[in-house]
Amino acid sequence: MLVITADQEGSRHGVDRVPEALDVLEGVPVLLPFVRTVGDELQGVPEDAAAALEACLRLVRLGGWSIGVGVGPGRLASTAPESAGEAFVRARAAVERAKGRTVPLPLAIEAAPSGGGVGPDADVAGTAGVAGTAGARGRAERGSAEGLAGREVPTGPAGAAAVEPLVHLLAAVVAARSDTAWRVLDLLATGTTGVEVARELRISPQAVSKHRRAALWDTEQAARPVVARLLAALDGR
């Protein structure tokens, strides 16, 4: 199971952006919908890894959010905040790490050891076990490159340490796009041809192609399913 917990950055000195974020996340396939938890925080349970990646990149595009992805077992209730399990604990640990300076982007992934249930290192009522997660991550990071280079897809904490930089790459691509580029890409995403996009935006077809190349649109679309498969493998499924 994958859980996303996101916290608004600088909310004490700005407007409440939770409603805006919930609107942005509308339409992402979910097991439990994204809702406000407390204050300026939101949480949801995506349907699968592809949906989780989509939700993360939508929040990255919106900007102003620290994003935590937790992977592991969980017990679903009627809402995400009422649910419990190690996936939720890991999401909490991830969003706290995303707020710090140990990641290049405010997005972090934490995964429970594959094949494990809610064990003694996870407190479903809070964030106990986070220290153990940090230790596991340190060991995992040292072997993350070797893990992805091998034949087997890494799972658990080692997999999270290996997949996180790949998600960061996609996030960096998304975050760097200009509003003009997004106007082009949003139309292309609906299946509109480049010629039609040019006509709609009153620009040349060459300009459409230039924005598409500069935004690495085709590269992102090709990379998404690969990264999603690696993300799905983190809990050993």
pLDDT given at position 114: 74
* pLDDT bracket for residue 15 (50, 70, 90): confident
Whether residue 95 is contained in a domain is answered as yes
170-227 tens-digit pLDDT: 999 999 999 999 999 999 999 999 999 999 999 999 999 999 999 999 999 999 999 9
Return d(Cα 145, Cα 161) in angstroms, integer.
9
Domain assignment present for residue 114? The answer is: yes
Which pair of structure tokens corresponds to residue 51? 């949906």
Number of separate domains in the chain: 1
Q: Is 113 helix (H, G, I), strand (E, B) or coil?
A: coil
Residue 218 lies in a domain: no
Domain annotation covers residue 219: no
Mean pLDDT of 11-37: 92
Asked whether 59 and 24 are in contact (CB, 8 A), the reply is yes
Residue 159 tokens, joined: 């997999």
87 is in which domain, residue-wise? 2-175
Return all residues near 179 (Cβ < 8 A) that are at least 6 apart.
Answer: none
3-class SS of residue 170: helix
Flag whether 78 is in a domain: yes
Given a contact cutoff of 8 angstroms between Cβ atoms, the answer to whether 5 and 80 are in contact is no
Q: What is the DSSP letter of 64?
A: S
Residue 25 lies in a domain: yes
Which tens digits make up the pLDDT trace of 25-71?
999 999 999 999 988 999 999 999 999 999 999 999 999 999 999 99
**First-to-final CA distance of the chain:** 9
In a domain, 43, yes or no: yes
Q: Is 8 part of any domain?
A: yes
- Return d(Cα 210, Cα 178) in angstroms, integer: 13
Q: What are the helix (H) ranges across 104-202?
A: 130-142, 144-149, 156-175, 179-188, 194-201
